[in-house]
Structure 1
Amino acid sequence: MSLARFPRPTLALIHKRWSGHSRWSKIKHAKGATDAAKGQVYTRILKDITASVLRDGPDPSKNIRLETIVTHAKKENIPKATIDSAIKRGSGIGTAAGKPLTCLLYGGIGPAGVALVIEALTDNRTRAVSVLKSLMKKYRGSISSSALFNFEHKGRIVLNQDSHSFDKVFEHAIDHGAENVEQDQDSIHIIVEPPHTTSTAKCLQEKYGYSLNSVELAWIPKSDSRVCLDPDSDDGHTFAELIRCLQEEPDIVKVYHNAI
């Protein structure tokens, strides 16, 4: 594939695209110490492990998403027995009353019209939906399937920016199926069509030796759908609290939004 068909975006454009994302990321990172103290970091990683197993199987050698999450879990010093338990749960072992897990996907509209996509993994659909509706209502939001139209479902491969040259990553990624390559202050994000996620990630890892931070299927906001939300405003505080509560719910795996 010729690079001429994919003109390299300038760094200025890349940073501009991610500037709003970084503003909300800082709020999340500022809460990192508190989240860690509550065990939320462990919980989120273990949710990701279970979800990855349910979707793509329990063998890390055949499931690159699981491989990267397990590597992350080990760096966070999560015990092997705990990791194995999350893998078993995704395989249908150890769930409540032996009930199978179900993946759920919901759209929502939050404060200031911010759109959300919420992924859940549960053995009790009725409970999960009830909790989700209650939280959305509490924080001035509602469930709305139309919110999904503000996002695109894409594969996303993330590398540490400090460890790799952006120019090299861009060239290699585009040559092997990437639609776009973006960067923020800390990371390089490679965007691909969902069916190409695993093959592109494996190629970058095995052919070029890149160390992958994460590999996932993500709901990425469309550029023309982003909502500017001041974190210091009343809506901003309400929205931040909504995100925190959603992330702490046991059945909710991922929350995506289009706030900048």
Structure 2
Amino acid sequence: MAGHSKWANIQHRKGRQDEKRGKVWTRIIREITVAARQGGADVTANPRLRLAIDKAKAANMPADRIKYNVDKASGNLEGVNYEEIRYEGYGIGGAAIIVDTMTDNRVRTVAEVRHAFSKYGGNLGTEGSVAFQFKHCGQLVFAPGTSEDKVMEVALESGAEDVVSDDDGAIEVITSPTDFEAVKNALEAAGLVADMAEVTMRAENTIAIAGEDALRMQKLLDVIEDLDDVQNVYHNAELAE
């Protein structure tokens, strides 16, 4: 199945995350906190916590800091209570944007998200206004040059829903959220390590944005991503270089 050209956008996003490592750690700590609080500290029985810890390790977070935050969230230490809130809206050119937050102050968070949208050319929508344009799924992306036949064979045998060949040579493996970890483990056991692997909101269709509009859209996304309470930002824009 042919897909869109996503490799440049993925590499761009990874680069921006590397530039904001401190912010990435903060987001991961919040994810660990919520995962451990909801599902307990036993990683063998808590898939969400396992994924959060994998993200922490990939971001070079020290093991003692990971353990501290798991203990803190699971009740062994006092901590802040976070709630998860999703916001939906539109960016430049009608691009769809989903903003996932974790916050201890709902009033502050919605005010900051609304301000970012309105100041930088977007519009905050109502619940459900754009979510239908995305699929909640596991996504593993392999660099151009990876053997598509090998990826397809291992992925489909281990329970993946689809393997997508993008226009730029990247290969995407799509799974259900519940099968993501099993598929990821099977691929890694076969020597296939994805450049990006996460449970995400994947856009069903994308909107190409170029020129000044692309710069404006990137600015809007940057401002939203920099908000303290924001965990993840998903969108369906393909931004031209």
8 Å Cα contact 1:90/1:101 also seen in 2: no
Q: Which residue is equivalent to 1:154? A: 137
Give 1:248's aligned amino acid: D
1:176 aligned to which of 155, 158, 163: 158
Report the Cα distance in structure 2 between the residues aligned to 1:69 and 1:213, rounded to whole angstroms. Answer: 17
8 Å Cα contact 1:114/1:258 also seen in 2: yes
Report the Cα distance in structure 2 between the residues aligned to 1:126 and 1:120, rounded to whole angstroms. Answer: 12
Distance 1:101-1:76 versus aligned 2 partners, 3 A rule: closer
Q: Deviations over 1:149-170 (max 9, x none)?
A: 21112222x2654896432221
Q: Which residue is equivalent to 2:208? A: 228
For structure 2, list consecutive stretches of 5 or more residues without a partner in the other structure.
none
Report the Cα distance in structure 1 between the residues aligned to 2:200 and 2:37, rounded to whole angstroms. Answer: 16
The answer on 1:18 being equivalent to 2:4 is yes
Give 1:256's aligned amino acid: Y
Report the Cα distance in structure 1 between the residues aligned to 2:194 and 2:89, rounded to whole angstroms. Answer: 31
Q: Cα distance, 1:187 vs. partner?
A: 6.3
> How many residues are matched?
234
Give 1:104's aligned amino acid: I
Q: Cα distance, 1:183 vs. partner?
A: 5.3
Report the Cα distance in structure 1 between the residues aligned to 2:145 and 2:55, rounded to whole angstroms. Answer: 16
Distance 1:81-1:104 versus aligned 2 partners, 3 A rule: same
Q: Which residue is equivalent to 1:6? A: none
Q: Cα distance, 1:30 vs. partner?
A: 5.2
Q: Deviations over 1:172-226 (max 9, x none)?
A: 21123211123567964321223433444455556x5655666543111113xx2
Q: Which residue is equivalent to 1:84? A: 67
Q: Which residue is equivalent to 2:215? A: 237
Deviates more, 1:165-174 or 1:132-141: 165-174
The structure carrying a bigger helix percent of its residues is 1
The answer on 1:119 being equivalent to 2:100 is yes
For structure 1, list consecutive stretches of 5 or more residues without a partner in the other structure.
1-8
How much identity, in percent, do the aligned residues show? 27
Distance 1:113-1:163 versus aligned 2 partners, 3 A rule: closer
Report the Cα distance in structure 1 between the residues aligned to 2:198 and 2:218, rounded to whole angstroms. Answer: 23
Q: Give the TM-score normalised by the residue count of structure 1.
A: 0.73
